[in-house]
Structure 1
Amino acid sequence: MVVTIGNNLNRIAHNLWVGGNPPPHLQHIWDRVLQSLDGIDAATASIIGR
C-alpha cells in the first residue's frame, strides 16, 4: 500500500512539474493531499496561536 501511494504521488509530482496538472485519474488523490495540507496548516496555526 505504501509503495502504491508513493508511486501515485511521484506521478502527480512529475505531471505537476512538466504540465501543471496531475493526470485526471489521480486528481482525487491530489485533492486529498491538498485537503490534508490544509488540515496540517490549520492545526499548526492553532498550536502556535495564530
Structure 2
Amino acid sequence: MSGDANGDGREDLSVMYNYATGATSVFTFKGCTDGGFENTFRSWQALPGTW
C-alpha cells in the first residue's frame, strides 16, 4: 500500500508480512525528500492466531 501514512506530504510504502508462526506485521518505509526511503519500522503487529 502506498500513500502519506504519517501526514508529512511525502509518499510512504507499507507492506504486510505473515510469519511462519502465524504472527502478522505491517512494515512502513517513510518517504524521504530525495525520493528514497528511510529505514523501515514495524507499524503494526498481531500475535499468532489473532488476525
- TM-score band w.r.t. shorter chain: under 0.3
TM-score by length of 2: 0.24
Give the structure with the larger strand fraction: 2
Larger of the two Rg values belongs to structure: 1
Higher relative contact order at CA 8 Å, sep ≥6: structure 1 or structure 2?
2
